[in-house]
Amino acid sequence: MARLKWSYKKFVKFLKDYKFNRGHTRGSHFYYNGKIYGEDKVVQVIFSNKEKKCQSIRTINMGIKNSGILREYFEEWDKNGEVHDEIIY
C-alpha cells in the first residue's frame, strides 16, 4: 500500500464524491458528515498552513478509519477516480 499524499482540496473532493457534506468547523478543523453502509460517519479534514498542501499521515489514516471506507477504495479513487456507489446509502 502506497502512502496517500493528499492535499486538503483532494481529500475534500474524495469525501464529496462519496456524498459527504461539511457539517461544522472548529478553527482549522472541518468535519464532513456522510452515510456509509447505512451508518452515519464523521471525518475530520485539517486546513492549516502545515496541512493544506499535504495532509499528515495521521490525518489521512484517521479519515480512513472514521469514514468506514476501505483503504483500497481511497487508492482506487486516487488512481482513476472510481467511486463505489454501492456503499453509499
pLDDT the model gives residue 37: 97
Are the C-beta atoms of residues 6 and 22 closer than 8 Å to each other?
no
- Listed in sequence order, the residues at least 6 apart from 51 whose beta carbon sits closer than 8 Å to its beta carbon are 8, 28, 59
The pLDDT, as a whole number, for residue 2 is: 65
Q: What is the pLDDT of residues 14-63, one digit of tens each?
A: 999 999 999 999 999 999 999 999 999 999 999 999 888 999 999 999 99
**Confidence (pLDDT) at 56:** 93
Domain positions in the chain are 8-87
pLDDT for residue 10 is more than 80:
yes
Is residue 54 within 8 A of residue 41, CB to CB? The reply is no
Q: How confident is the model at residue 76 (pLDDT cuts 50, 70, 90)?
A: very high
CA distances, 24 to each of 10, 31, 33, 39, 74 (Å): 19, 5, 9, 19, 23
Find the mean pLDDT for residues 58-77.
97
In this predicted structure, what is the pLDDT of residue 4?
87
